[in-house]
Chain A
């Protein structure tokens, strides 16, 4: 992916883009206005690449959230960056409990502390940061559109 393959849509007030909202991982773009309202997030911009569309949002607490949609409208990845973590239950949707289970299972092993790595095959989550600076990403490998490398989800 290069910048030249992207078409950036200007940062228009989100009220003019009622169908462009946020959705949980694995959710669908068509059903998500309620989710954006739940996060009280503002739409910053929409970026269209060849194989996906990226919606960038900002929560009132200053967290930037990026959601990656496949051409069919399914959210295959999410990423965030800000002074606090996002609402992970909202962002991971049906994957949230899987995230918690995998995270708890990992605690019984000698593992990293200070970064969080969850990888159970069907869900990958990584979180990093320190006081007042958190960032991370999550994706479902099975939902990745053809030709999209996981590394774009940042």
Chain B
């Protein structure tokens, strides 16, 4: 009962809607002045008041070309995915037009994440953040209310993430390395199509081909000027954690006075958009930076010499703060040694939502999650977009 009550209160508090008039949104038309590319972001408990190391922002969605808009807070800022996804339970006051495919049937997407997949219709919106607008782009509305039957080819990918409790966020703002979430593969016919997009006539959902331009888009790549990537700036976090912290998400790289690369090192990526991390003399090539991961994840308990937590599943829980170092290496040979700490996640104050020393297992490589962003300015350049540091994709800091 208490849980349900609390959940309802948080939901009501976090989902605020507003009718934005056309005069206020027109100020973002050029998108070229510095102040217009700065979006405040927070690391806090989020819509469920239970998040750890999750970065949140507010995003406004409008029916295309209209002033019918809703601003939704508690959207996860995720440099590890591409495209805007919002929970249908959070998108309450605006109706967005449904994208249609073959035979006029609605297009629905099954997008795999590491933790599970999101299923829901592809709809069209004007996406507004601070002074920037991405006009008439495809977004995913996540939920089972309109298309309740998940096709088996989708559910075979793992576990559905359809609710606030699943995502621990009202949506996901994917501002990662690509312009769209799938790319050419989803536009192909035959077995090389990974099967992310479906048309769902009343007879049932079938996998469809989806042109690249119709796929769920990285909103940033549709901004007028600041469209080649993003910059995330977060402050240093004290050892032991903090209740919350705040920073900024800047749009564009080297397009304004506030988003220049300066002395940042550029790390180019391999054909899987990974770089390498060297730890204890071993090189791990499937390594990456991801604001949507809530810790620094590497090796396993035996390999890292760190005990697994009893309660905080997947995290390490050393009895004392353990200093570590690993070297990141780009495909271009750029290297940088990164010092970080492993702390005891089970013992962190339960009301804290920020913990720099959150580490855990990931035998596949190094996943440099949100703790890596604390105290840094991190640049994420979109593939195929030119920047003063070269053409994306790359990470820089």
Contacts and interface: CB of A to CB of B under 8 A. Distances in A.
Given A114-B367, A126-B363, A134-B114, A83 B292 contact: no
Contacts of B155: 89
Q: Which of A87, A133, A154 has the most CB of B within 10 A?
A: A133
A85 B314 contact: no
Contacts of A100: 158-159
Contacts of B217: none
A37 B168 CA distance: 38
B312 A104 contact: no
Contact of A129 (B114, B196, B312, B360): B114
Interface stretch (A2-10, A15-23, A105-113): A105-113
A154 B363 contact: yes
B295 interface: yes
B109 to A, nearest CB: 13
Interface string B361-390: 111110101000000000000000000000
B391 to A, nearest CB: 17
B80 A131 contact: yes
Given A87-B157, A107-B166, A112-B313, A128 B294 contact: no
A117 B166 CA distance: 15
A127 interface: yes
Contacts of A154: 363-364
B50 interface: yes
A102 to B, nearest CB: 10
Interface size class of A (residues with CB under 8 A): 35 or more
Interface string B273-289: 11000000000001010
Nearest to A63: B194
B248 to A, nearest CB: 21
A126 B362 contact: yes
Interface residues of B, number: 59
A142 interface: no
B378 to A, nearest CB: 14
A33 B52 CA distance: 45
Given A84-B194, A103-B116, A117 B156 contact: no
A96 B159 CA distance: 10
Given A100-B158, A103-B159, A114-B369, A130 B81 contact: yes
Contacts of A111: 312-315
B201 interface: no
A128 to B, nearest CB: 4
For the residues of B in contact with A, the DSSP-based class is loop
Given A114-B367, A117-B361, A85 B274 contact: no
A61 B158 contact: no
B54 interface: yes
B229 interface: no
A149 to B, nearest CB: 10
B156 A88 contact: yes
Given A131-B80, A131-B174, A131-B273, A114 B286 contact: no
A131 B176 contact: yes
B149 interface: no
A46 B366 CA distance: 28
A14 interface: no
Contacts of A110: 50, 52, 311-313, 345
Interface string A116-153: 11000000001111111111110000000000000100
A131 B367 contact: no
Interface string B240-256: 00000000000000000
Given A61-B191, A87-B157, A114-B294, A132 B273 contact: yes
Interface in B175-225: 176-178, 181, 183, 185, 190-194, 196
A135 to B, nearest CB: 5
A85 B196 CA distance: 11
Nearest to B295: A112
13 contacts: A62-B185, A83-B185, A84-B196, A85-B157, A107-B165, A112-B297, A112-B313, A114-B292, A116-B115, A128-B365, A129-B288, A130-B292, A131-B174
Given A60-B192, A135-B365, A137-B363, 15 more contacts: A60-B190, A61-B185, A61-B194, A103-B159, A110-B311, A115-B360, A127-B115, A128-B365, A129-B286, A130-B176, A130-B273, A131-B82, A131-B174, A131-B181, A154-B363
Interface of B: 50, 52, 54, 80-82, 112, 114-116, 152-153, 155-159, 165-166, 168, 174, 176-178, 181, 183, 185, 190-194, 196, 272-274, 286, 288, 290, 292-295, 297, 300, 311-315, 345, 360-365, 367, 369
